[in-house]
């Protein structure tokens, strides 16, 4: 009976604390939402044939960080953290063929390297090579149709990678 009473009391105290506006917060979330934090997210280096892929990745990452609660500034001058990315490659493979033996469905893979550095201490907070995501797209005899689908597949794969990177940044910052 004593254990039940202690458990019940603990639950009541926790509910009262929640009702009063107190909440538990991880230590990393404070820096992420601190408006004085400056992060440099410059355009990713680009080793792919996709001309605008480097700036595209950096812009999408900034947008996603804002959506997930980052309140600091994006600035290279006086940055506290440096986010460096490199688009290593975009690979396309034929996934299925039509009856006429031409490609019907293609699979596009995007591979990125990422590194996050705390500028003041010069230490690497996160470094990962070969992050990859894949998206499929359909092709046809119309080049515009195929290219539009290919671009949409690139954007889907990029968005998935950016989400993974932003979630990790939220944890480490």
Output the average pLDDT for the chain.
86
Give residue-wise pLDDT tens across range 28-53: 446 788 999 999 999 999 999 999 99
Which pLDDT value is given to residue 3?
Answer: 63
Q: Is the pLDDT of residue 126 over 90?
A: yes
The label of the residue with tokens 């400056």 reads 38
**pTM of the predicted model as reported, rounded to 2 decimal places:** 0.78
Summarize the confidence of residues 60-76 as an average pLDDT: 95
CATH topology of domain 28-172: Double Stranded RNA Binding Domain (3.30.160)
Q: Give the 3-state secondary structure of residue 35.
A: coil
Judge whether 69 and 33 are in contact, CB under 8 Å: yes
**Alpha carbon distance 48, 132 (integer Å):** 14
Summarize the confidence of residues 68-93 as an average pLDDT: 94
The label of the residue with tokens 């440099």 reads 40
Return the domain boundaries, the chain.
28-172
Q: Is the pLDDT of residue 23 over 80?
A: no
Judge whether 117 and 123 are in contact, CB under 8 Å: yes
**Alpha carbon distance 27, 45 (integer Å):** 32
């Amino acid at each position: 009976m004593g254990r039940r009473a202690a458990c019940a009391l603990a639950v009541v105290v926790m509910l009262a604390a929640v009702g009063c506006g107190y909440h538990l917060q991880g230590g990393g979330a404070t820096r992420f939402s601190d408006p004085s934090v400056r992060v440099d997210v410059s355009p990713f280096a680009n080793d792919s044939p996709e001309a605008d892929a480097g700036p595209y990745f950096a812009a999408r990452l900034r947008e996603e960080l804002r959506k997930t609660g980052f309140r600091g500034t994006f600035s290279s001058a006086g940055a506290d953290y440096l986010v460096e990315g490199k688009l290593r490659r975009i690979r396309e493979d034929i996934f299925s063929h039509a009856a006429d033996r031409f490609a019907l469905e293609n699979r596009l893979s995007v591979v990125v390297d990422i590194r996050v550095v705390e500028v003041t201490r010069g230490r690497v907070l996160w470094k990962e090579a070969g992050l990859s995501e894949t998206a499929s797209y359909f092709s046809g005899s119309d080049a515009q149709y195929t290219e539009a689908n290919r671009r949409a597949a690139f954007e889907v794969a990029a968005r998935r990678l950016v989400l993974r990177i932003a979630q990790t940044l939220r944890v480490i910052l």
